[in-house]
Amino acid sequence: MKNKRMDYILFFLTIVVSIFGIIMIYSASSIWAEFKFHDPFKYVKQQTLFFFLGLLVLLIASKFDLNLLKKKANLILGLSLIFLILVLIPGIGSIRNGSRSWFGIGGFGIQPSEFAKIGLIIYTSKYLAHNKKYMKDVKKGALPIFLVIAIFFLLIMLEPDFGTAMVITLTLVCLIFISGLKISFFIKLGLVGILGIVGLIIAAPYRLARIISFLNPWSDPLGSGYQIIQSLYAIGPGGLLGQGFMNSRQKHFYLPEPQTDFIFSIISEEFGFLGVIIVCTFFFIIFYRMIRIALKSNDLFSKYLAFGLAFGLLIQASLNLAVVVGLIPVTGVTLPFFSYGGSSLLVSMLSIGLVLNISRK
């Protein structure tokens, strides 16, 4: 294949968004970090470290041999599976916010489910490229790959991490959908999925509490409805231009750990509707550039890989924004490039790096 220059618009936009995210992490976390660690820059320093590490990962991924990645897809999937099993073992995996979904390394935490998302996208892209002629046959084409997805879904649910499990499942369903599988199959799959979600909600009382708090946050304003109420209190006063940078009220111990899942609430409060438009525009352009690269790719594996990575970022961002504004129940999904979290940032940068690699061809 002829090598071209990578998509520099996507590259520089990723850098800009990541830096904006670091700035907002400082604004959102400085009060809490000063109180907890006596260092207002605690979270910013850690996120900046992961940003430079992520930039290195992005550059390596942008030049990595995609044929080798394709050949090692099964190995990558196997390693992802092993790490998801290991994290469930007490003494190996550590518990944070009620989920055993982390490997504790010093003061840092690595979330294997984030990297499993990339592993599954790579493996599914290879599978679809090799089995394109069978994909219209449910038993020969679709069933094997959905069994693989189901195994990973169950392992992540055992942590439990419903948000990440949903992001991965929706991403791969969208990827398989564009492979040409019959729509009737997805209708049946959707019905099964709804029944499964209802079962998961019934099986775990805290999920039912989240549903109730979503329908009526004021039914438990100091418990399950607290986060969404405080999030809406942040968004409401933002108005058109916001309260101004560093002027958020909700980060003063009202909205719990605002630098993570609910950082968009702080952006809305400090920059108003203008900030909302800017963030959404960033994600729209990133998604557009990734889809554009996918459509132009002549290699089937690369095409599916670019589509999968684009769907992954879009679905994760959409779920986070929907939670913050109260459209869906709280899922615990981070906002790519903005939320504090090393694993999330590394995986987002890796995704962009792989798509930039595809843009060279």
DSSP string, 1-39: -------HHHHHHHHHHHHHHHHHHHHHHHHHHHHHHS-
pLDDT mean over 213-239: 85
More confident site: 50 or 104: 50
% the chain with pLDDT above 90: 66
Q: What is the rounded distance in angstroms from the CA atom of residue 273 to the CA atom of residue 239?
A: 6
**Paired strand residues for 96:** 99
Using a pLDDT cut of 70, give the percent of the chain over it.
97
State the average pLDDT for the chain.
Answer: 90
> Going by C-beta distance under 8 Å and a sequence separation of 6 or more, which residues neighbour residue 359?
4, 6, 7, 10, 293
Cα–Cα distance for residue pair 33/138, rounded to 1 Å: 52
User: What are the DSSP E strand ranges found in 152-279?
Assistant: none
Packing angle of the helix pair 8-37, 42-63 (nearest 10 deg): 160
Round to the nearest angstrom and report the end-to-end CA distance of the chain: 6
pLDDT band at 1 (very low <50, low <70, confident <90, very high): very low
At residue 106 the predicted structure's pLDDT band, cuts being 50, 70 and 90, is low
| pLDDT reading at 146 higher than 50 | yes
Q: Are 343 and 110 in contact (CB under 8 A)?
A: yes
d(CA 59, CA 55): 6
Given a cut of 60, whether residue 2 has pLDDT beyond it is no
Could you tell me if 45 and 33 are in contact, meaning their C-beta atoms sit under 8 angstroms apart? no
Strand partners, 105: 108
Give the pLDDT confidence score for residue 282 in this predicted structure.
96
What phi, psi does 185 have (nearest 5°)?
Answer: -65, -40
Residue 277 has pLDDT above 60, yes or no: yes
Q: What is the side-by-side strand order in the sheet with 108-110?
A: 93-96, 99-105, 108-110
- pLDDT of 312-359, one tens digit each? 999 999 999 999 998 888 888 999 999 998 899 999 999 999 999 999
For 174, the token pair is 């969208």
Average pLDDT over residues 227-249: 92
pLDDT at 3: 60
- Locate the DSSP E strands across 108-203: 108-110
Q: Give residue 25's pLDDT.
A: 97
pLDDT top residue among 246 and 223: 246
Whether 276 shows a pLDDT value over 60: the answer reads yes
Q: What is the pLDDT of residues 110-141, one digit of tens each?
A: 889 999 999 999 999 999 999 888 777 777 78
pTM of the model: 0.92
The most confident of the ranges 57-61, 94-98, 257-261 is 57-61
